[in-house]
Structure 1
Amino acid sequence: MPAGKPVETGNTYKNPVVNYSLPDPTIIKAGDGNYYLYATEDIKNTPIHRSKDLINWELVGTAFTDETRPTFEPRGGLWAPDINYVNGRYVLYYSMSVWGGEWTCGIGVAIADKPEGPFTDQGKLFRSNEIDVKNSIDQFYIEEGGKKYLFWGSFRGLYAIELSDDGLSLKPGAEKRQVAGTAYEGVYIHKRNGFYYMFASIGSCCEGLKSTYTTVVGRSKDLFGPYLDKQGRSMMDNHHEVVIGKNEQFVGTGHNSEIVQDSKGKDWIFYHAVSVDNPKGRVLMLDQVRWENDWPYIAGGTPSLKADRPVF
């Protein structure tokens, strides 16, 4: 039985798609045709799940073991992974932090030949006190114009910096630049129709049914902004549009994944939420992203309880 619930069949699915804690999901379609999803280590050492249809998931292992896990923050947890395929290998960026360790937390990187690992740690890119950005976690990798960049940040501003050609270190001499204000964490940027869309999360992630986490977005004509809301106000000033809010079944709806497409060209996004029926941890959610006037939205603005499934 995959991922703690019966196999979903037919033309519809129900949220959550995984009914145990898989916070801060990141997803990639691998060369074998499967999707692989990675999450914050509520399952120790960074869990890896696999699916063919985005609905039915099986746990296939972890990115690390107790012996191979990163060590630069010795008592730290591995949070908010970001999976990519770079130069012919799988590159997993991760955050490492203890609660409250805003100056010692940081971002590292690991590599593997296969999406299921094993991943070999390449060490840290930087800690907060080395790059002078408090709470340096929640990284996102993107390529643009033949260059590689890392975006990151958590309620102390969102920032970007250029990486080396292999993506495993900062480019020598690169300078960080701020791209959004202090309301946000969990940044993800999606390119579509000449716009860059900066998705992020606001509010509290981890207070159970009191969590206020909400997924928001702004858009820009340039990768580095300014990212604006529909009224032209800047995310540097903490303005945005809400994409996914709470409803009677799910709260704390945030930290979205990359957008992936099904065979019909429909866009889908994963995120986590706290379930009223199962409030322990943050369960894995899936919803279709729709577009109107080049702005993304979720039907009803809150998690679906039952919906038409992706088509493959």
Structure 2
Amino acid sequence: MSKFVFIYLISIFSLGMSGCRTKAVYSNPVINYSLPDPSIIQAPDGYFYLYATEDIPNIPIHKSKNLIDWELTGTVFSKQTRPTFEPRGGLWAPDINIINGKYILYYSMSVWGKEWTCGIGVAVADTPSGPFTDKRMLFRSNTIGVQNSIDPFYIEDNGRKYLFWGSFRGIYGIELEDDGLALKKGSEKVQIAGTAYEGTYIHKHDGFYYLFASIGSCCEGVNSTYTTVVGRSKDLFGPYVNKKGESMMNNHHEILISANERFVGTGHNSEIVQDKKGQDWLFYHAIDKDNPHGRVLMLNKVKWKNEWPVVNYSSQSRIEKPYF
């Protein structure tokens, strides 16, 4: 074998090995401007649609086909169609769903610190990009008797529809009418978790209900202590417990995502979504200490170990992308 042929073969082999090692990767944050409290849904058009607290006025809508590359496509409301039940209130923590073929978005409306006048409303659209029509305020704190009634989350279970909500005054749930636009007549609220939590999300996996929530301070810049936690139950309405069997009603839980050397304030996660390999992914927001200009959008894979979710939330800059 000549020296030139040998060098050629070595070069081809090296390129092949390099190609085997090459993976499509991304870096957090996936959106590097403030986009707190994300909620996501996949529509029949193949796009994922993501909604967030209105650091962009009137609740921004983004879309993506791969969970990484996002385009801002509009807002849920305009200045003219914006809800008004809480004057000068902000629109926080939207929760998007498909109910009976309609896109139903629950939202909080609140003035910071006005914990007895804030409340939860609902809007409806035929498509995920809108236009959304505001339907009604479902309730306020002072009408339902739960202080700081924000952060809605909708779930269907055994053919019935429920809304969960709450922020550091207990997490509560209540049944809805079949269209999802009103509280079910005669239904009563039920408390399922204690006063450490907000940002409720419940996910059913292998026979358990997993209650994801956030603890700590969300909005103090690099001093934020927001942390994502989880407990689980065999029943939708609990009791939710940690690995030791201690109850979330008494503010016990497992830590899922917390601060690292770069990102702090890691909380208020989205729904879990799956890629084409069946891998689970979770959005949440955080504050980037390298560029602390808002609560940026983060994405990490969720793995399941011994029937509990695990998230690798290190500050690594090269993460294998979801598969689509």
Q: Which runs of 5+ in 1 are unaligned?
A: 1-8
Q: Distance in 2 between matches of 1:178 and 1:141?
A: 15
Q: Give the whole-Å Cα distance in 2 for the aligned partners of 1:111 and 1:261.
A: 25
Distance 1:248 1:192 in 2: 31
From 20, 42, 57, the counterpart of 2:70: 57
Residue 231 of structure 1 aligns to a residue whose secondary structure is coil
Task: Give the Cα–Cα distance (whole angstroms) in 1 for the partners of residues 124 and 315 of structure 2.
Answer: 33
Q: Deviations over 1:116-153 (max 9, x none)?
A: 01100002000000000000000100001111000000
Q: Which structure has the larger Rg over C-alpha atoms? A: 2
- Give the Cα separation in 1 of the matches to 2:124 and 2:295: 27
Q: In the comparison of the two structures, how many residue pairs are matched?
A: 303
Q: Match of 1:3?
A: none
Q: Is the 8 A contact 1:109 1:123 kept in 2?
A: yes
SS of the residue aligned with 2:282? Answer: strand
Q: Identical aligned pairs, as a percentage?
A: 71
TM-score between the two structures when normalised by the length of structure 1 = 0.96
Distance 1:73 1:263, change over 3 A: same
User: Quick one: distance in 2 between partners of 1:304 and 1:168?
Assistant: 42
Contact 2:172 / 2:193 at 8 angstroms: preserved in 1?
Answer: yes
Which residue of the other structure, out of 168, 185, 193, is the alignment partner of 1:180? 193
Aligned with residue 320 of structure 2, among 301, 304, 308: 308
Match of 1:6 in 2: none
Alignment pair present for 1:36 and 2:46: no
Determine the structure 2 residue equivalent to 1:261. Answer: 274
Which residue identity does 1:72 align to in structure 2? F
Shift of 1:211: 0.3
2:164 maps to a residue whose letter is: F
Determine the C-alpha separation between the residues in 1 that align with 2:201 and 2:48: 18
Residues 123-134 of structure 1 mapped to structure 2, 5 A cutoff: 123-134=136-147
Question: SS where residue 276 of structure 2 aligns?
Answer: coil
| Structure 2 portions without partners, runs of 5+ | 1-21
Does structure 2 conserve the Cα–Cα contact (< 8 Å) formed by 1:245 and 1:302? no
Cα distance in 2 for residues equivalent to 1:239 and 1:50: 36
Q: Alpha-carbon deviation of 1:305?
A: 3.1
Secondary structure of the structure 2 residue equivalent to 1:18: coil
Question: Partner of 2:80 in structure 1?
Answer: 67
Paired AA for residue 306 in structure 1: R
Letter in 1 for 2:252: H
Spell out the pairing of 1:99-118 with structure 2 (5 A cutoff).
99-118=112-131
Contact between 2:160 and 2:175, CA under 8 Å: does it hold in 1?
yes
Q: Secondary structure at the match of 1:199?
A: strand
CA contact (8 A) 1:246 1:303 kept: no
Aligned partner of 1:214 among 213, 216, 227: 227
Map Cα deviations across residues 179-237 of structure 1 (whole Å, 9 max, x no partner): 00000000000001000000000000000000000000000000000000000000000
